[in-house]
Amino acid sequence: MILGAAAAAMARPGLAKGDPAWYDRAIIIDALGSVKDPYSPGGTRRLSDRAWLETRATGITMIRDSVFPVGNIADPWGEYLKKIAEHKDELAANPDRLRLVRTTADILSAKRDGRFAVLLGTQDSVMVGPELDRLAQLKADGVMTVQLTYNNRNLAGDGALEPDNAGLSKLGRATIERIEAEKLLLDLSHGGARTMAEGTAHAKRPLVISHTAARALTDHPRNTSDETIRAVAAKGGVVGVYFMPFLTLDSQPTGADLIRHIEHVAKVAGEDHVGIGTDNGQLPPVITEATRKSNREWALERMRRGIAAPGEGPDVFPIVADYNSVDRFQRLAAALARRGWSVTRLEKLFGGNFLRVYREAWGA
């Protein structure tokens, strides 16, 4: 079950002693997620009124949504063109609700105007491959962040699931250079350990690992070593912690596990270099037989394609069950405040750090 919009709005737990209203004023960013409407039939681009009310109740200012494909498919550029067209259609169907982000000013104006800001990014560079001029086309399409690899090997380097852990290729280095030249944001999520380390070393500008966790706490290939977390921070970047099964090795993370990873990354990187990238939709899934069936089919397809990470499975929902509610960010902020997090630290974690790195990467 999930909380409805009214219940979420009424809950509003004490978020920090002395300043309970900070969350409503702050820029709240989910650095990797998706815009989903669990109440609307498939193929409908316009958000339902219920989904819109609950999206507003989350308090989230901006989410980074993904433009697919990921993985090595026959025609990745053709698939990209189809998917970016779908995103444009969704934005066009919700002009009073959604705001495409090209600059940090777009995020701030969306907050001011009561709209939901959507940052488009890729989770792979397969649609680019050796055709680096395509990065300029991605930017023209409104794609402002580019992830280098997705779990498996591509022409740029090895993903998190590659056993050889071979790192970056020459093309991978050239791709990073062109990403930075275009003033796009480099994302090294889903990279192999060596790819993330080498990519961070090669970068000249701030970068992100938008959705990951601490490998020092949970030795999972999707998680990131302390050495690389420190290196990203040293480049002025940000590491986002996800709400995913990979926070533990049994695929059943608790809220305490999530907090443990957040606090570890904050300790290793520093409070200016940690954020949240849930890898979830902006609204929590309602757990029903229909959603169980849909999740099962999605997981089996990922397994068939060889892009599923250890811990994924037909009966595993990619969530932290303790925070499967519309007001999850408010409740997480309240839990961290009880552990001594100041308003200043909370504002950085929940959006301020990513807002800064976006401004530095894009130059606006």
State the Cα–Cα distance between residues 97 and 363, nearest whole angstrom.
26
Domains detected in the chain: 16-362 (3.20.20.140)
Per-residue pLDDT of the chain (364 residues; tens, 9 = 90+): 344 443 444 344 455 555 779 999 999 999 999 999 999 877 789 999 999 999 999 999 999 999 999 999 999 999 999 999 999 999 999 999 999 999 999 999 999 999 999 999 999 999 999 999 999 999 999 999 999 999 999 999 999 999 999 999 999 999 999 999 999 999 999 999 999 999 999 999 999 999 999 999 999 999 999 999 999 999 999 999 999 999 999 999 999 999 999 999 999 999 999 999 999 999 999 899 999 999 999 999 999 999 999 999 999 999 999 999 999 999 999 999 999 999 999 999 999 999 999 999 999 8
Which of 336, 286, 243, 288 has the alpha carbon at shortest distance from 36?
A: 286
Query: Residue 274 carries which DSSP code?
Result: E
Nearest CA to 40 out of 29, 30, 28, 54 is that of 54
Closest by CA to 186, choosing from 214, 213, 146, is 146
Residue 31: how many other CB atoms lie within 10 Å:
32
The string of DSSP codes covering 123-191 is: S-STTTTT-TTHHHHHHHTTEEEEE--BSB-BTTB-BTT-TT---B-HHHHHHHHHHHHTTPEEE-TTB
- DSSP assignments along 245-258, one per residue: GGGSSSS---HHHH
**How far is Cα 105 from Cα 51, in angstroms, rounded to an integer?**
25
